[in-house]
Amino acid sequence: MPKRGKKVAAEDGEEPKSEPETKKSKGAAKKNGKEAAGEGPVMYEDPPDQKTSPSGKSATLKICSWNVDGLRAWIKKKGLDWVKKKHQISLLVSSSDKEGYSGVGLPSRQCPLKVSYGIGEEEHDQEGRVTVAEFDSFVLVTAYVPNAGRGLVRLKYSQRWDGAFRKFLKDLASRKPLVLCRDLNVAHEEIDLRNPKGNKKNAGFTPQERQGLGELLQDVPLTDSFQHLYSNTAYAYTFWTYMMNAPSKNVGWRLDYFLLSHSLLPALCDSKIRSKALGSDHCPITLYLAM
């Protein structure tokens, strides 16, 4: 997560965390033309789903990723109702060895060929951050990447994680194409957060974290599916702090991704941000592939 200033109680296997910094630079504090004209904040409108690949093949695979934050709170806020409406699922869960930390779940209609947890290094496998599911034609990795923390106290650890995770993914990608998803806890480019100038020293947008994601994209290699399809689309975020009415103002960050092996790009139909789905400080994202 980006730098936080207000502590939030951990709940149901989520990492203890604080709310992100919403500091604005002088430039970022100026309202854009639409807001200055009195038309209100600029909100992202998710376009209609595209369910065919560039070659015209129909989508056969749909993957949804959602950082639900606290599980019980998410259920109370009707997040589960959205999932039930969209999907009929079974559930695989990677839990943390430490109470109040992380944990990722993998709902799936189709039974994977193989499921594993963690990246094979003890230092990084105590917090339940990674689940790997192998299918016939690809490997799905769902990961909750550690954040640098308030005051960047975990920045050095997050850099060690980046190197170990990148090595782990390269090994997987040498065998089958990869789909990597969930909360990667970094906004890669300035377009990926509302106030880039005011957050360059904050967790989630430090040069080190951005470089780490860039090296992962280059070395594995992987492609950011949303950026690939919607490279010039602004105000498209997946996380909003609850502070300062950030959701209603669309002061957010794009922290959640679908990253794909290059060999899967011909199968890419769409990469969606479901910004109107309620239940968490993150929104769901959806991927369509024609496999």
Model pLDDT, residue 33: 53
List all residues 6 or more positions away from 131 whose beta carbon is below 8 Å from its beta carbon. 92, 93, 94, 104, 105, 106, 115, 116, 117, 141, 142, 143
Cis amide prior to 47 (ω within 30 degrees): no
Q: What is the pLDDT of residues 120-139, one digit of tens each?
A: 999 999 888 999 999 999 99
For residue 241, the 8-state DSSP code is -
Model pLDDT, residue 4: 35
DSSP string covering 10-70, please? --TTPPPEEEEP----HHHHSPPHHHHTTS------PPPP--B-TTSPBP-EEEEE---SS
- Which helix (H) or strand (E) is 104 found in, with range? strand 104-108
Q: Give every residue of the chain whose pLDDT is below 70, as ranges.
A: 1-39, 69-75, 77-102
Q: Report d(CA 281, CA 2) in Å as an integer.
A: 13
Q: Give the active site residues.
A: 144, 183
CB 14 within 8 A of CB 30: no
